[in-house]
Structure 1
Amino acid sequence: MRRFPVPSIAWIYQKIIVVGRIKRYPPSVQRLIRSFALVLITSLLGSIVCAENPDSFTSVEASAEAIGGDARRGLRLLLETPLIPSDFDQETFDAVWQSWPEPLRSRAEQSTPEIRRQMAFERYGLTPRPAGLRDLDDRPDERPMQYVVDDQGRWTMNCLACHGGMVDGQPSPGAPNNRFALQTFTEEIRATKWILGKPLARMDLGAMVIPLGSTHGTTNAVVFGMGLMHYRDAELNFQPKIPGKFTHHDMDAPPWWHFAKRPYIYIDGFAAKGHRGLMQFMLVPENGPTFFSDHEDDFRDVYAYLSSLTPPKFEGEIDTAVARQGKVLFEEHCARCHGTYGTDGTYPNQRVPIDDIGTDRVRFDALSVSGRQKYADSWFAKTETPERRSIAAPDGYVAPPLDGIWASAPYFHNGSVPTLWGVLNPEHRPAVWRSDRLEFDSRDIGLRHEVVDQVPVIVSDAAVRRTYFDTRLPGKSRTGHDYPDVLTDLEKRAVLEYLKTL
């Protein structure tokens, strides 16, 4: 007989949610019921995961060279060490095709295990590990770059899930993963666990309440961090409490090769850069304060790895004469915010007031002053550069460096613009568009895409539906950054040609 230990919790949770949505209750009562469900699930899962997975974490030997860190060790840590409880096992992943809609499920059923694996990688935005990473150990290279897979076949998401994508058709650590289908993947893993009679993990249950991402390639990552910090004090002690109220919004992951240049992190630049700040997304209940202090040297290595990354070089054709013209125009109109490039290049770290830049402000408004201040007062913000303090009330977004900009589509912090030509031409930005995120547009530089009037309502496959980007939805606006309108079309083409060289 199959055992269903954790799904019974999911059943309780779902029943509470159903009751909480009964319309005869006023909204305040509905919210109270849902809050009670979240507290219940958080408490139950914390004890269950610890009990069922006492050895979920692989111990990592602290670096003997703590100061400065070692880039290679940092990469190995991300790829080989699970730092949070595992999400699912190999058997579940191998069977996930059973949760796919028809006719995809039948096609998978008739395929070999190798083909099914390729289909799953394509569906969820997973990539093989690049050849240059395969010498980190003697394991076969069937594992995706985006997950740690241990010797027991347990899969644990790592940072490369969002920050390990494709560049010109090749897997590239540090590139934004503009194909990652986190919401769809989680839903279908959860459904597969029900089929197999396996226990659910926190991600499976949390995704029922907190959206993980409504469009492939973007995630609700900021809210993850806010939610995790909500349950901690300044020294990272866990404090059970009623869930906070957050504004959900999807974000496009920034390229890691910008890390070395930026003294602050995040789109509004409110957090001073430091190795501790990189650890925030491990704030699950199982990781207490000692976990973070014990792994601090490891994240000096991760910091060193991020600092070592450089942008990829554009390998297509570049009209050097036109690019030289574009450089002059860029330095006249764009460099004040985005900096200059070359051997004597400088990056100004310029924050632009939100009303000036005019891009979607949901991300800006979603983080309260008190929420930012809580981070600023926490262990994470105590950096080795104490003169650089986190900012509780920034006034806008920071213009990013543009190194390797050609390789980081889609554009804007919410991923609302598929090409650089659209960035330079506000009137050419599509309202609703769809891309398979595989084909590169070498003319307009970015994602080759189709423009549609609206997301088709008849699409029953959630994975297909989430390939559409509707800029009319909250948090997904394509407006703003209209500064290039002072240029002619020929001048914009020259600037575009120059951007290929960065």
Structure 2
Amino acid sequence: MIRQTTFLILGILGLLIAVGPGEAREPDAAAGYDHLINTTYLPPYFDQETFDNVWRIWPEPLRSKAEKASTDERRQMAFDRYGLTGRPEDPAKPLQYVVDKRGNWTLNCFSCHGGEVEGKPVPGLPNNRFDFAGITDDIRLTKALLGKKMVTTDYSSLVFPMGDNKGTTNAVNFGVALISLRDADLNFVPGASFPRMLHHDMEPPPWWHFSQKENIYIDGFAPKGHRALLQFTMVRSNGAKSFPAREDDFRDVYAYLSSLEPPKYAGEIDEKKVAAGRIVFNKNCSECHGTYGENASYPQRMIPIDDIATDRARLDALSPEHRQVYGKSWFNNYGDKEGLIADPEGYVAPPLSGVWASAPYFHNGSVPTLWHVLHPEQRPKIWQWDGKSYNHQRMGITTKQLTEVPKGLHAIDKREVFDTSRFGKSATGHDYPNNLTEEEKDVVLEYLKTL
């Protein structure tokens, strides 16, 4: 027993000597995932009782259907309504929220970055069904019904746009608003107010692209770093000291993001077409989107906005001043971290690994399938979700094409209708596939399944 105790003490001393006081430990990717699903970095939003009763404020006939359903069936109906999924390791728990032992629900990063394809939850996949505005509005009404205490988030959607379509959010302006109230050290500035903002919606990028990039975001303005991942925890209850205190956690999160790989396409693949598609792709697309397979490369190429000609609302929404405020803050090591681009000329062409799974496409989520990406003239002006099944023929989400937005839709159902004529939602641009023949487009589509 004495000998075992001696070895234990020596082992602890050896660990302390090896790591040393104040020295950073090796980041742990598995711990990073655990932090995201089990650690609360924001205040709780609602409790289990509220979520269990949210069906009571649903419109008919959905409410009557929920009333007759079992508890598990109602839970699944709520998950479907708001774009939530179970966790891969525990389907009964939401991937998109931390649920503590007291039943309090707190939003986490997987709300936007944890989606589903072919019925399977995929951490790191853009959540193309998440309805931030919908769940915020319905939870507020349910709290009022139950006599529950309201929190800041309950009122936020009344004054700040959350997102006009499922799967997209006004995330850029969340960041602009939150940092505008703080100084470079992230202390609150008395009397500070929100700047003028250009509200627009964005679709989140796949997290498995993170390891391929040096700069993040569609305009590539921000150098990558673990501190940058803490931006969206800038709520009032998190003071300046909370950010350095959580750096080790987010070093783990950084390692987790860097470890992610795209899901593999499980459908049928025509290898002959794939071989032909690889040749066409490498000749016409790889200059911007990179190469795949052995000796893969990603150029992180910035495309001028007039060349790419996609919706420019995202580019215009951040001014050079907005970007410099971030660049001179703690998040970017007070400007010591090189690579900030205060005035980018356009958008960075993204990697295409796992592109088959990440519909809809473009940074605003305006194009429902890869087939439509390759056929610019046939992109639908108005489209609506048609169930959750995957469209293997056109590679993307299953939709109905409409001539107008249906009247009388409930707000949540209306957010399933994408109108590309609205501000920030254009599906134009990226016309380069017009240089390809139909046969070339067909084989490129097949090749994209394999990336």
TM-score when normalising by structure 2:
0.93
Q: Displaced runs of 4+ in structure 1, greater than 4 A?
A: none
SS at 1:207 equivalent: helix
> How many pairs does the alignment contain?
430
Q: Does 1:343 align with 2:315?
A: no
1:355 is aligned, of 306, 309, 314, to: 306
> Which residue identity is paired with 1:379?
W
> What is the match of residue 58 of structure 2?
100
Q: Counterpart of 1:493 in structure 2: which amino acid?
A: D
Aligned to 1:122: 80
Give the secondary structure class of the aligned counterpart of 1:166: strand
Q: CA deviation at 1:204?
A: 1.0
Residue 493 of structure 1 is matched in structure 2 by 442
Which of residues 87, 93, 106 in structure 2 aligns to 1:156? 106
> 1:477: Cα distance to partner?
0.1
Q: Name the counterpart of 1:291.
A: 242
Deviation, 1:454, is 1.2
Identical amino acids, percent of aligned pairs: 54
- Partners of 1:66 and 1:300 within 8 A in 2: no
Compute the displacement of 1:65 (Å): 8.0
1:88 aligns to 2:46 (yes or no): yes
Match of 1:429 in 2: 379
Residue 336 of structure 1 and its aligned partner are, at CA, apart by 0.7
Give 3-state SS (helix, strand or coil) of 1:143's partner: strand
Give the root-mean-square deviation of aligned CA atoms.
1.5
CA distance in structure 2 between the aligned counterparts of 1:272 and 1:382, rounded to whole angstroms:
10
Distance in 2 (CA, whole Å) between partners of 1:480 and 1:420 is: 14
- Which residue in 2 is equivalent to 1:368? 319
Select the residue among 359, 367, 370 that pairs with 1:409.
359
Runs of 5+ in structure 1 lacking a partner? 1-62, 135-140
| Aligned counterparts of 1:488 and 1:318: Cα–Cα separation in 2 | 21
**Distance of aligned partners of 1:312 and 1:149 in 2 relative to their CA distance in 1, 3 Å threshold:** same
Aligned to 2:338: 388
Is 1:457 paired with 2:412?
Answer: no
Partner of 1:224 in structure 2? 174
2:207 aligned partner, one-letter code: W
User: C-alpha separation between the residues in 2 aligned to 1:387 and 1:118?
Assistant: 45
Q: Following superposition of structure 1 onto structure 2, how do residues 35-74 of structure 1 map, counting pairs within 5 Å?
A: 66-74=24-32
Task: Please tell me whether the aligned partners of residues 68 and 304 of structure 1 are also in contact (alpha carbons under 8 angstroms).
Answer: no
Classify the secondary structure of the residue corresponding to 1:176: coil
C-alpha displacement at 1:427, in angstroms?
Answer: 1.0
| Residue in structure 2 matching 1:482, options 431, 438, 443 | 431
Cα pair 2:223 2:337 within 8 Å, conserved: no
Give yes or no for contact 2:282–2:291 (8 Å, CA) kept in 1.
yes
Quickly say closer, same or farther: Cα 1:356–1:311, change in 2 above 3 A: same
Cα distance in structure 1, aligned partners of 2:208 and 2:25 = 21
TM-score, scaled relative to structure 1: 0.84
In the alignment, the residues of structure 2 paired with residue 64 and residue 85 of structure 1 have an alpha-carbon distance, to the nearest angstrom, of 29
- Given residue 126 of structure 1, which amino acid in structure 2 is its aligned partner? L
CA contact 1:179–1:437 (8 Å) conserved in 2? no
Instruction: Give unmatched runs, 5+ long, in structure 2.
Output: 1-20
> Alpha-carbon deviation of 1:289?
1.4
What residue is the counterpart of 1:196 in the other structure? 146
Deviations 1:223-272 (A, max 9, x none): 11111011111110112423221111111111001000011100000000
Which of residues 109, 127, 130 in structure 1 aligns to 2:67? 109
Q: Which residue of 2 aligns with 1:49?
A: none
1:468-501 superposed Cα distances (whole Å, 9 cap, x missing partner) = 0000000000000001101011100111111111
- Distance apart, 1:142 and its partner CA: 2.0
Aligned to 1:471: 420
